[in-house]
Structure 1
Amino acid sequence: MKKLIYALIASLIVVSGLVYANREIKTESSNKVISKTNSSKDKNTELKKWEASPDGIMFNNWKESPAGKKVLESIAKIRKPVKEFNEMEAIVTSLSLPEGSRLGFGIMVKIDGEDYILAFGVEKYEPNNYNLGVEFEQLYSLKVNDKIIIRSRSVSYAPKYAYPIIAGDYVEKEGKILYKREPNKDGC
């Protein structure tokens, strides 16, 4: 009986020592100061440096040009529904993107009289999957002048394109969901 009690006490001492040591390691690592890699001052410095570069100058000139102002005004028209992930009514104007675009699959749409690129990205192909190329299958059924309902979480622009680029997150036609973007599994 004494041996059993001594064994229990010894194991209790060993376990409590391990718990205490583990707590100290966690406390030490949490007390370390985490230094920020880029402060806002550094970011502003980098931004000013980029704006002074040839690419930055070209980009700013584009933003001030009539084409750039038109794109920015078009973005301002849909900023609120995009920010709130609300429905927007659109009419399909073209089943292909402008020539030379590198946005993956997409279509051209008109929302409130303004033209937009509705981009869905590159279709994902999974190895050893017999259903290759079906991610956008229902979107292929769209025709010019179809009325659709879209939702998006983001809109962007680039000097290469004469239209704002809406990320296609959700498309509906006549109450039927044609496309709904799957959330990223990685959390990003």
Structure 2
Amino acid sequence: MKKIIFALILPLVVVGGLVFANRERTHEAAEKSPSTPPSAAERKAALKKWEATPDGILYKKWEASPAGKKVYASEAKIRKHIKAFTNMEAVVTSLSLPPGSRLGFGLMVRIDGDDYILGYGPEKSDELQQLHSLKVNDKIVIRSHSVLHAPKYAYPIISLNLVERDGKMLYKRVPRKGGC
């Protein structure tokens, strides 16, 4: 009888200890996370600190180079559409990204005479299946909330929210659940 009681109580003690230990670890992590976002002065100081690193120095050199200026000029052409989240007409120029790209699935398009990378992220067959039907010289309508740039790429990178062709929606980004 004592062995049976011991056999029943021992797992309860072990599970209780694990639950208590996990609660402590979660509580410690919550205490360490910052409760308020950094102030403007803190962000400015962090940026200055980063600009002094080798990566920051290379980035500043790229910004001042002709390639960096070209990327920023292309980005400025579509900035009003990005801020207003309005339609932009584009022509597909390539069904693949430049060599060495690590953006996942994407296309190259031309908007108002400038080339852009349309980056979709990791390829998920359900979401992106319709985009595989696009061909070079197809006219599409795109909408986006953001444009990115990186020294590795000679083109601005448009993060897509919507792609339409001939009035038919081909892609619409699904917002993350439970996040920002």
2:133 maps to which residue?
A: 141
Q: Match of 1:183, as an amino acid?
A: P
Question: What is the CA distance between 1:37 and its match in structure 2?
Answer: 5.9
CA distance in 2: counterparts of 1:93 and 1:182, whole angstroms: 26
1:154 equivalent to 2:156? Answer no
Question: What is the CA distance between 1:123 and its match in structure 2?
Answer: 2.6
Question: What is the CA distance between 1:40 and its match in structure 2?
Answer: 2.3
Question: What is the CA distance between 1:74 and its match in structure 2?
Answer: 0.3
Question: What is the CA distance between 1:145 and its match in structure 2?
Answer: 0.3
Q: Percent identity?
A: 64
2:90 maps to which residue?
A: 90
1:163 equivalent to 2:155? Answer yes
Q: Match of 1:104, as an amino acid?
A: G
1:184 maps to which residue?
A: 176
SS in 2 for 1:73: helix
CA distance in 2: counterparts of 1:183 and 1:134, whole angstroms: 15
Question: What is the CA distance between 1:135 and its match in structure 2?
Answer: 1.6
SS in 1 for 2:127: coil
SS in 2 for 1:153: strand
CA distance in 2: counterparts of 1:66 and 1:35, whole angstroms: 41
1:74 maps to which residue?
A: 74
Deviations 1:132-183 (A, max 9, x none): x222111000000000000011101000000000011101001111111111
User: Which TM-score applies when normalising by structure 2?
Assistant: 0.78
SS in 1 for 2:56: helix
SS in 1 for 2:93: strand
User: Which runs of structure 2 are paired with 1:4-153 in the superposition (5 Å)?
Assistant: 36=36, 38-124=38-124, 133-153=125-145
Deviations 1:98-145 (A, max 9, x none): 111111110000000000000111134xxxxxxxx2221110000000
Deviations 1:66-111 (A, max 9, x none): 0000000000000000111100000000000011111111000000
Q: Return 5+ residue gaps in structure 1 as ranges.
A: 1-33, 125-132
2:11 maps to which residue?
A: none
1:175 equivalent to 2:174? Answer no
Deviations 1:29-49 (A, max 9, x none): xxxxx9746332222221111
RMSD: 1.5
Structure richer in helix, relative to its length: 2
User: Which TM-score applies when normalising by structure 1?
Assistant: 0.75
CA distance in 2: counterparts of 1:114 and 1:163, whole angstroms: 9
